[in-house]
């Protein structure tokens, strides 16, 4: 029997994977060949999706990007993969784009059946949890501190210090909340973890629970991810049945209860305090800090709020040790970062690498330039609140400090590429427009300033008192930056200012 893999991932399916899976099965039935069809996750090589893999004695071989009509010639008469197929890519693991990566968090992505507990266990799954069960809470936290892991959601706060704060807070009930709101355009790493390797997130949350003394967890998932929702629920049920979740985890006497809660289409609910209000069933309004969520979080109790990738990385840290993890990276950016190549890019997808490579290497060597074949003009890094970077800045190493030093941020690792047809005045306008749509409304500079921002940019574009309005726009950016409670209003000026500074000619047409 031949084992065939067709991803059930959102992007793979968006490009026709379901139809291809059905065609492969139909063809096998017609030819009376026995196959085992596995709906794996994606390997994150989205430029090659739908990517079909077939198991051979030498390893898995890949075909992609596959069109429905190309399924017909996938197999030889004896059922072996047709290596003369125009989409044949050879051994999957040898595809350079994948081989050059340093995959820790995404090592299993696309390799396993995402909802199979035994597959996960067979690929080093739950090793971190098993070790954590032999450690004291303080030892777990110490391991995380030693790893140098910083939050991957955007703010890059040291994860070990956050866990320590929650561990030290006395309370009967504590919570682990996973931030799976992934609202930034150009990002899909959280989604890939949840769709390709959900037990890794579940394991990370259980470890966090053991570390700080919390027995309840919530995954706050954006409603834009219906497949992740489905897969997470399947995985939680199976993990519960296998004794990893619920009462008395693996006979340890410790418990952890986990559920998924859906957001409802509000970008601001990715901000951790707004997220907590939303989880409590309220409007997602940003709360002033202090009190920190670590001390007064969900329902007023000490709460760890971590991004999906942070919690996922904790499994590697526990399984292999903090020293192993912190060996990757540069300066104060330790470990690996899942970068996401998106937008107008020839080879888009997930690239996990140690910190330190440059933006140019990433978009050229991995990305292969634009999809349109035109020159790259601007790259927006770090989501809708991130700066648009001109070519002069593409040689900056990708690490938190180097980016902060030039008024930019890595954020959640989203890299959105634009070719030379982009109109940067329109991009600046969109940044303000997005802030109008997504502001929680608490602060005037954000709520009203963004509305003014759209109007002022419209006047600049239509050449009404352009010089005065350009000055006004700069002042407005300052007001928003300094008068806003959170990064929504506080950083919307970043994309706007970068467009004004580096692409000034687009405001003078």
Partner 1 sequence: MSAVMDRGAAVAAAFERYRNEPGALLCILHAIQDSLGYIPAEVVPDIAAELNLSRAEVHGVISFYHDFRTQPGGRHTVQICRAEACQAVGARELEAHAKTALGVDYHATCSDGSITLVPVYCLGNCACGPSVRIDNEVYGRVSSARFDSLMAELKAGAE
Ligand X SMILES: Cc1cc2nc3c(=O)[nH]c(=O)nc-3n(C[C@H](O)[C@H](O)[C@H](O)COP(=O)(O)O)c2cc1C
Q: Which residues bind ligand X (CB under 6 A)?
A: 151-155, 157, 179, 181-183, 268, 270-272, 305-307, 310, 486-488
Concatenated DSSP letters of 414-443? EEEEEETT--HHHHHHHHHHHHHHH--S-S
The answer to whether 442 contacts ligand SF4 (rule: CB under 6 A) is yes
**Closest CB to ligand SF4 among 312 and 446?**
446
The answer to whether 338 contacts partner 1 (rule: CB under 8 A) is no
CA 33, CA 15: separation in Å to the nearest integer? 26
Do 337 and 352 touch, CB atoms closer than 8 A?
Answer: yes
The answer to whether 502 contacts partner 1 (rule: CB under 8 A) is no
For the record, the structure tokens of 167 come out as: 């561990």
Minimum separation from the CB atom of position 3 to partner 1 (A): 26
**Closest CB to ligand X among 271 and 352?**
271
The answer to whether 268 contacts ligand SF4 (rule: CB under 6 A) is yes
CA 202, CA 245: separation in Å to the nearest integer? 9
Options 112-120, 186-194, 357-365, 466-474: segment touching partner 1 (CB under 8 A): 186-194
Peptide bond preceding 291: is omega within 30 degrees of 0, i.e. cis?
yes
The answer to whether 212 contacts ligand SF4 (rule: CB under 6 A) is no
Q: Of 302, 305, 334, whose CA–CA distance to 321 is shortest?
A: 334
Options 31-39, 72-80, 91-99, 440-448: segment touching ligand SF4 (CB under 6 A): 440-448
**Closest CB to partner 1 among 17 and 456?**
17
Q: 3-state class of 289 per DSSP? A: coil
CA 17, CA 25: separation in Å to the nearest integer? 12
**Residue 155 interacting partner from ligand X, ligand SF4, partner 1, none (CB closer than 5 to 8 Å by kind):** ligand X
**Residue 197 interacting partner from ligand SF4, ligand X, partner 1, none (CB closer than 5 to 8 Å by kind):** none
Please select the residue that binds ligand SF4; options are 156, 205, 440, 457, rule is CB under 6 A. Answer: 440
Q: Of 329, 333, 504, whose CA–CA distance to 428 is shortest?
A: 504
Please select the residue that binds ligand SF4; options are 484, 499, 502, 507, rule is CB under 6 A. Answer: 484
CA 366, CA 68: separation in Å to the nearest integer? 27
**Closest CB to ligand X among 310 and 370?**
310
CA 367, CA 386: separation in Å to the nearest integer? 20
**Dihedrals phi, psi of 126, to nearest 5 degrees:** 65, 10
**Residue 443 interacting partner from partner 1, ligand SF4, ligand X, none (CB closer than 5 to 8 Å by kind):** ligand SF4
The answer to whether 68 contacts partner 1 (rule: CB under 8 A) is no
**Closest CB to ligand SF4 among 371 and 448?**
448
Cβ atoms < 10 Å from Cβ of 97: 18
Length of the chain counted residue by residue? 509
Q: Which of residues 275-334 bind partner 1 (CB under 8 A)?
A: 278-284, 299
What binding mask, one character per residue, do residues 286-325 give for ligand SF4 by CB under 6 A, x or -? x---------------------------------------
Do 217 and 177 touch, CB atoms closer than 8 A?
Answer: yes
31 conformational bin, left if phi > 0, alpha if psi -120 to 50, beta if neither: alpha
Please select the residue that binds ligand SF4; options are 52, 317, 341, 488, rule is CB under 6 A. Answer: 488
The answer to whether 266 contacts partner 1 (rule: CB under 8 A) is yes
The answer to whether 477 contacts ligand SF4 (rule: CB under 6 A) is no
Q: Which residues pair with 258 in a beta bridge?
A: 217
Q: Report the interhelical angle of 189-196 vs 308-320 (nearest 10°).
A: 60
Q: Report the interhelical angle of 226-241 vs 198-212 (nearest 10°).
A: 60
The answer to whether 20 contacts partner 1 (rule: CB under 8 A) is no
Rounded to 5°, angle at Cα 473 from 470 and 478: 135
Cα–chain center distance at 254: 30
**Residue 266 interacting partner from ligand X, partner 1, ligand SF4, none (CB closer than 5 to 8 Å by kind):** partner 1
The answer to whether 489 contacts ligand SF4 (rule: CB under 6 A) is yes
**Closest CB to ligand X among 7 and 495?**
495
Cα–chain center distance at 58: 32
Total residues interacting with partner 1, rule: CB under 8 A: 60
CA 375, CA 233: separation in Å to the nearest integer? 43
**Closest CB to partner 1 among 144 and 435?**
435
CA 96, CA 107: separation in Å to the nearest integer? 15
The answer to whether 345 contacts partner 1 (rule: CB under 8 A) is yes
CA 48, CA 51: separation in Å to the nearest integer? 6
Those residues with Cβ within 8 angstroms of residue 384's Cβ, 6 or more apart along the chain or in another chain: 184, 185, 267, 431, 434, 492, 495
Residue number closest to ligand X, CB atom = 151
Minimum separation from the CB atom of position 170 to ligand X (A): 23
Q: Which of residues 379-438 bind partner 1 (CB under 8 A)?
A: 380, 384, 414, 416-419, 422, 426-427, 430, 434, 437-438
Minimum separation from the CB atom of position 350 to partner 1 (A): 8
Minimum separation from the CB atom of position 297 to ligand SF4 (A): 17
- Using CB under 6 A as the criterion, which residues of the chain lie in contact with ligand SF4 when the complex forms? 268, 286, 439-443, 446-447, 484-486, 488-490
């Amino acid at each position: 029997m031949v084992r065939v893999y067709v991803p059930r991932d959102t992007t793979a399916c968006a490009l026709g994977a379901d139809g291809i899976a059905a065609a492969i099965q139909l063809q096998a039935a017609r030819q009376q060949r026995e196959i085992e069809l596995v709906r794996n996750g994606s390997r994150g090589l989205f430029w090659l999706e739908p990517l079909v893999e077939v198991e051979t004695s030498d390893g898995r071989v890949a075909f992609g990007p596959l069109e429905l009509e190309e399924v017909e010639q996938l197999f030889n008469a004896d059922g072996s993969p047709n290596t003369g197929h125009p989409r044949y890519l050879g051994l999957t693991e040898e595809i350079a784009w994948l081989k050059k990566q340093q995959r820790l968090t995404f090592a299993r992505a696309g390799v396993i059946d995402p909802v199979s507990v035994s597959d996960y266990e067979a690929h080093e799954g739950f090793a971190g949890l098993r070790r954590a069960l032999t450690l004291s809470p303080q030892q777990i936290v110490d391991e995380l501190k030693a790893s140098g892991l910083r939050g991957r959601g955007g703010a890059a706060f040291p994860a070990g210090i956050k866990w320590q704060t929650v561990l030290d807070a006395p309370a009967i009930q504590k919570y682990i909340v996973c931030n799976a709101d992934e609202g930034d355009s150009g990002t899909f790493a959280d989604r890939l973890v949840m769709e390709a390797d959900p037990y890794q997130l579940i394991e990370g949350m259980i470890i966090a629970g053991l570390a700080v003394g919390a027995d309840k967890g919530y995954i706050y998932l954006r409603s834009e991810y219906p497949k992740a929702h489905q897969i997470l629920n399947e995985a939680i049920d199976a993990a519960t049945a296998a004794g990893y979740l619920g009462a008395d985890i693996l006979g340890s006497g410790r418990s952890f209860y986990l559920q998924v809660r859906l957001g409802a289409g509000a970008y601001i609910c990715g901000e951790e305090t707004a997220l907590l209000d939303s989880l409590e069933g309220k409007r997602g309004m940003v709360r002033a800090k202090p009190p920190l969520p670590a001390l007064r979080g969900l329902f007023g109790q000490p709460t760890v709020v971590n991004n999906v990738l942070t919690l996922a990385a904790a499994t590697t840290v526990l399984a292999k040790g903090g020293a192993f993890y912190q060996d990757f990276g540069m300066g104060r950016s330790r470990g690996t970062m899942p970068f996401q190549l998106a937008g107008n890019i020839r080879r888009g997808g997930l690239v996990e690498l140690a910190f330190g490579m440059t933006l140019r290497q990433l978009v050229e060597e991995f990305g292969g330039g634009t999809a349109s074949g035109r020159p790259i003009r601007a790259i927006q890094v770090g989501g809708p609140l991130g700066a648009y970077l001109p070519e002069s800045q593409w040689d900056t190493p990708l690490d938190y400090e180097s980016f902060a030093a030039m008024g930019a941020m890595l954020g959640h690792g989203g890299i959105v590429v634009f070719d030379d047809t982009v109109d940067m005045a329109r991009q600046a306008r969109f940044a303000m427009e997005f802030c109008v749509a997504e502001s929680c409304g608490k602060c005037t500079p954000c709520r009203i300033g963004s509305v003014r921002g759209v109007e002022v940019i419209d006047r600049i574009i239509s050449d009404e008192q352009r010089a005065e309005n350009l000055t006004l726009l700069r002042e407005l950016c300052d007001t928003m930056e300094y008068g806003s409670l959170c990064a929504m209003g506080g950083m919307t000026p970043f994309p706007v200012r970068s467009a004004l500074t580096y692409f000034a000619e687009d405001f003078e047409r």
